[in-house]
Amino acid sequence: MLQIIIRRTLIAIPTLFMVSVIIFLMQKLLPGDPALMLAGEIRDPAVLESIREQYHLNEPLVVQYQYWAMQILSGDLGVSLRTEVPVSTLIGQKLPVTFQLSLVAMMIALLIGVPAGIVSAVRQNTMIDYSVNLLALGGMSIPNFWLGIIMIMVISVGWGLLPASGFVSIMDDPSAFLAHILMPAFVLSTPISAYLMRHTRSAMLGVLRSDYIRTARAKGAPPHMVVLKHALRNALTPIVTMTTLLFGELLAGAVLTEQIFGIPGFGKLIVDAVFARDYAVVQGVVLLTAALFILLNLIADVLYYLITPRMRYA
């Protein structure tokens, strides 16, 4: 296993380097001059030149990237041009919010997607199978922003059951946290539930056709034992690895959901930074998101190795 971790880490280093170069170059394509924003209403050419010199904005792109990369390697993600707060501090405030939202969304997706996939595989080519597949297709097709708006109008405005926006940490008030997080987490989990359902169904169908499943049935094993003990345990390998990767998508893909429900998380931070042309925040957030994806890929590889005996033998 150590060899797998070392090999994946060595692959991740050049990947992260290329991602950082792309992030830096794409950032430079954004319209606007950060020096003008920092200067505010002061348009004195001497002040603008001083700001550009301070932030190395008057240097060639290669030199600017070198300064930025050296900052990153030293653990300094820079300072927000808009609020003058360190980017690492802003991320430390916003990332836990998105992490809690994504964790609840993933739990909902697992509770819906995996059982639905099992039932669909066991009842293949029946009305139940067709209905579950139709719901999964709808879950993958419906835009999150539309579903979020409809839920706010019906559940919050119409019925008054749940708050329409805001966020309360689970450490402060668990009941208020649950009330505020249920709707956005459900909206965020809808496409993930569909993906997990389709993946679980496919994995279960492959296992249910195996010889040892036929042997277990021939020996008179109860149907639920055949499905849960023999089939599901062997179908879990792709499901676990897929869940790890989908969790990364939740962390990075909560932008629209957080905007609709007014959740001060990771996604809202980057949206506000893009509109404010806060380059340091955008670069720091996107780079950290890429690093999280690489880390989750490494975790998925390790989990696949741990739960697959054939991989350990090889």
CA distance 207 to 187: 31
Place of tokens 């749940």: 162
Range of the domain at 110: 94-275
12 and 59, same structural domain? Answer: yes
Task: For 202-222, write each residue's pLDDT tens digit.
Answer: 888 888 888 777 787 777 778
pLDDT of residue 144: 83
Give me the amino acid identity at 197.
Answer: M
Is residue 89 in a domain? Answer: no
193 and 254, same structural domain? Answer: yes
pLDDT of residue 274: 77
Task: For 53-109, write each residue's pLDDT tens digit.
Answer: 777 777 777 888 888 888 888 877 878 877 778 888 888 888 888 889 989 999 999
CA distance 97 to 170: 10
Is residue 250 in a domain? Answer: yes
pLDDT of residue 112: 92
197 and 157, same structural domain? Answer: yes
99 and 234, same structural domain? Answer: yes
Give me the amino acid identity at 151.
Answer: M
204 and 132, same structural domain? Answer: yes
Specify the number of domains making up the chain: 2
pLDDT of residue 23: 82
Is residue 87 in a domain? Answer: no
Is residue 88 in a domain? Answer: no
Is residue 304 in a domain? Answer: yes
CATH at residue 267: 1.10.3720.10
Is residue 271 in a domain? Answer: yes
pLDDT of residue 107: 93
pLDDT of residue 37: 66
DSSP state of 158: I
233 and 111, same structural domain? Answer: yes
137 and 188, same structural domain? Answer: yes
0.85 exceeded by pTM: no
Segments of the chain scoring below 70 in pLDDT: 1, 30-43, 308-314
Helix (H, G, I), strand (E, B) or coil at 126: coil
